[in-house]
Amino acid sequence: MCTVFEAAGGNEGLQRLAEAWHRRVMADEVVSHAFSHGFHPQHVERLAAYWAEALGGPTTYSDSYGDESRVVRMHSGNGEHEEMDRRAIAGFDQALVDVGLADDIALRQVLHDYFTWATTTTMSRYPHSADDVPSGLKVPHWSWDGLQV
């Protein structure tokens, strides 16, 4: 059986998904607020590399850009944002349609489950301060069976 990374089209497929999701969230009046302070010029490429690593692909994100602690710190200290999370997830689901990854029901579900989990758990775990995020966190890995521990 192939990995979720492979089923999603590998690096190219996740790059297309990251581009589609980014376009959608930038057009959303609530979610785009998270980017109002600016974002890295290679945000889409980094996001695709992060998703690739999390979904069973190469460790490019960890090898080149940082660890999970860095990612979580970027998403921390912004208070509770449940509506923004819901809208980001809806944008992700629509991005799956945009790039043709929603046609495979099992793949669509596992990608939705991963993104929902990451958005509402890992990225929302430290709403009060980025200083609360511990050092040395590793990128979580997700498979067809969910979170791999």
Q: Is residue 93 part of a domain?
A: yes
Cβ contacts of 26 within 8 Å, gap of 6 or more: 32, 35
Average the pLDDT over 76-86 and give the result. Answer: 72
Q: What is the pLDDT of residue 116?
A: 96
Residue 134 confidence (pLDDT): 83
* pLDDT of amino acid 14: 98
Give domain status of residue 127, yes or no: yes
Residue 33 inside a domain? The answer is yes
CATH code, domain carrying 124: 1.10.490.10
Residue with tokens 């710190």: 73
Is pLDDT at 8 greater than 90 in this prediction?
A: yes
- Is residue 132 in a domain? yes
Could you tell me what percent of the chain has a pLDDT over 70?
88
Question: What pLDDT does residue 137 have?
Answer: 84
**Closest-CA residue to 82 (of 29, 127, 50):** 127
Q: Say yes or no to pLDDT of 133 above 80.
A: no
**Residue 28, SS3 per DSSP:** coil
Q: How many domains does the chain have?
A: 1
Residue 148 falls inside a structural domain: no
Write down the pLDDT at residue 81: 66
Average of per-residue pLDDT values in the chain: 87
Q: Please choose, from the candidates 89, 139, 86, the residue with its C-alpha nearest in 3D space to the C-alpha of residue 111.
A: 89
- Quote the pTM value: 0.87
Between residues 41 and 55, the one the model is more confident about = 55
Domain annotation covers residue 147 = no
Domain residue limits at 100: 4-142
Q: What is the pLDDT of residue 79?
A: 52
Asked if residue 123 has pLDDT above 80, the reply is: no
Instruction: Assess if residue 111 is contained within a domain.
Output: yes
pLDDT at 96: 98
